[in-house]
Amino acid sequence: MRSIEVCFSPKLIHLHEVKGKLVVVVDIFRATSTMVAALAHGVTEILPFADLEACREMQKQEYLIAGERNGLTAPGFELGNSPLAFTNGKYAGRKLAMTTTNGTLAIEKSKGAAEILVGAFPNFQATANYIRSRNLDVVIHCAGWKGRFNLEDSLFAGALAQELADSHTNADDGALAMISLFSKEGPQLSSFLAQASHAKRLQNHGIEADIDFCLSSNLYTQVVGADKKGAMVVF
Amino acid sequence: MRSIEVCFSPKLIHLHEVKGKLVVVVDIFRATSTMVAALAHGVTEILPFADLEACREMQKQEYLIAGERNGLTAPGFELGNSPLAFTNGKYAGRKLAMTTTNGTLAIEKSKGAAEILVGAFPNFQATANYIRSRNLDVVIHCAGWKGRFNLEDSLFAGALAQELADSHTNADDGALAMISLFSKEGPQLSSFLAQASHAKRLQNHGIEADIDFCLSSNLYTQVVGADKKGAMVVF
């Protein structure tokens, strides 16, 4: 059996060995969901940036720039962090540079892994099938909210660990806890998450449609991960 | 309503505001359980030390010294981290200096709080009742295992947050997740925890009796917390 661990925050990822492992970065609301939507709808690559200014600079190289902080589009950016901005195919063929509050930092802090994927419900099954095909131990790296545990990323981790239970043994208490929690709350995921701090924050921004999209499973068959230069692409 | 938050690791406590709040430090296996047992059985005070050497020095001041690292008694120490060492009253009237892998660090990192309590199942109800009597927001600070999330401390946090639900609203996703998880796994706590990484580690050290003790609820009515000089005492 391969192993699976869950890390609840980029501030704890240094306590996990990622070298030689497959890391799945999870930022359900909304960075990794948006990356999956953008690439599934024809964006050719996404360069993640932890820093706003470095991301903005990419406009000079004809990248579309997406920047979000605290749930809102960052000043001077063409796009924020909404997956629904991409679903009409308007940006097909474009390259995207993206920075977000939590997700792009988690990607940055996953460097050194054998492979980096991004995890999201809209391509859940495709991602799980891909992981099963790879002979690698797995670390699920939840982006959290400003370093703190969040519910939606952690429940996704539980869903994925449960889905992979036939091939990957849960190697830490985080995986064990989240498998159990997801088995309880998964059937009413939306209503349970509606109590969560981050979902409440986002509801205040009027993006209920984004939330519904981010919790929809298996809209896409594309698997998304980092290429050799660190850009997110369809595998 | 007062609020309650759960922090899963001393490495994340800086993300929580502890000033003006009541912090409950939790290291179920075994530091906080041992502190409660020692004080309930007549030890007069416990000075926690993050550092082995500083703790050892206290022997010169006629403190009994307890030192544990990685589940084992540290070299040169009279006692390790077993609550059962205290239950026959042998150390009644003594003062204790104590250092452990996780729990004493979590206490150290809780400094600045309005009050610090230690949480353990053996005095669960007494602690909950005391917290209800104090007009303070609460942060439950799980000691974890070397900075990582662990199941037993987190489930205790869920039990306490659930017990206080009539007076303290869950203020973060950690509390929400652990209330739900404890409501599912609480009825079979021992068997669920038997799968946990830390319990497995301890079983390898042949301390099943300690584990049973640490999971026994309401053996004591004493409430344990820090006095003004930072020693743990019966309130």
Residue B130 has a pLDDT of: 98
Give the domain CATH number at A224. Answer: 3.90.1560.10
Looking at the complex, report in whole angstroms how far the Cα of residue B172 sits from the nearest Cα belonging to chain A: 6
Read off the tokens for B129. Answer: 């009742």
Residue B171 has a pLDDT of: 86
Q: What is the chain A residue with the closest CA to B6? A: A149
B147, B173, B192 ranked by CB distance to A149: nearest:
B173
Residue pointed to by tokens 């739900």 = B180
In sequence order, which residues have a C-beta less than 8 Å from that of residue B166 and are 6 or more positions away?
none
Q: Could you tell me what percent of chain A has a pLDDT over 70? A: 96
Residue B70 has a pLDDT of: 85
Q: Could you tell me what percent of chain A has a pLDDT over 90? A: 90
In a domain, B229, yes or no: no
User: Rounded distance, CA B57 to CA B51, Å?
Assistant: 10
The answer to whether the Cβ–Cβ distance between A148 and B172 falls below 8 Å is yes
State mean pLDDT over B51-75: 94
B151, B173, B174 ranked by CB distance to A173: nearest:
B151
Which strand ranges, in their side-by-side order, compose the sheet holding A95-99? Answer: A72-73, A64-69, A95-99, A45-48, A232-234, A224-226, A115-119, A22-26, A138-142, A2-7, A168-170
Alpha helices in chain B (DSSP H): 31-40, 52-57, 103-108, 124-133, 151-163, 173-185, 189-193, 197-203, 208-214
Closest by CA position to A154, among listed A29, A35, A26: A26
In a domain, B59, yes or no: yes
In a domain, B231, yes or no: no
Residue B227 has a pLDDT of: 97
Read off the tokens for A205. Answer: 């921004």
Query: What residues of chain A lie within 8 A of the CB of B181, using their CB?
Result: 177, 180-181, 184
The answer to whether the Cβ–Cβ distance between A196 and B185 falls below 8 Å is no
Q: What is the pLDDT of residues B162-215, one digit of tens each?
A: 999 999 999 899 999 999 999 999 999 999 998 887 667 666 676 889 999 999
Q: Output the average pLDDT for chain B.
A: 95
- φ and ψ at B54, to 5 degrees? -60, -35
pTM (2 d.p.): 0.96
Residue B199 has a pLDDT of: 67
Q: Looking at B139-153, B156-170, B205-219, which range is the least confident one?
A: B205-219
In sequence order, which residues have a C-beta less than 8 Å from that of residue B210 and are 6 or more positions away?
B29, B30, B82, B83, B84, B202
Gyration radius of chain A over CA positions: 16
> How many domains are there within chain B?
1
Q: Looking at A188-202, B54-68, B105-119, which range is the least confident one?
A: A188-202
The answer to whether the Cβ–Cβ distance between B174 and A11 falls below 8 Å is no
Gyration radius of chain B over CA positions: 16
* Residue A32 domain boundaries: 2-234
Residue A196 has a pLDDT of: 82
Q: What share of chain B is helix, strand, coil (3-state, %, to 5)?
A: 40, 20, 40
Range 11-70 of B in CB contact (< 8 A) with A: 11-12, 15
Query: What residues of chain B lie within 8 A of the CB of A196, using their CB?
Result: 173, 176
The answer to whether the Cβ–Cβ distance between B12 and A15 falls below 8 Å is no
Residue B42's pLDDT band (cuts 50, 70, 90):
very high
In a domain, B230, yes or no: no
Range 138-197 of B in CB contact (< 8 A) with A: 145-151, 154, 171-174, 176-177, 180-181, 184-185, 192, 195-197
Chain A / chain B CB contacts < 8 angstroms: 82
B9, B172, B184 ranked by CB distance to A12: nearest:
B9
pLDDT-flagged residues of chain A (< 70): 198-199, 201-204, 206
pLDDT beyond 90 at B53: yes
The answer to whether the Cβ–Cβ distance between B197 and A173 falls below 8 Å is yes
In a domain, B233, yes or no: no
The answer to whether the Cβ–Cβ distance between B154 and A148 falls below 8 Å is no
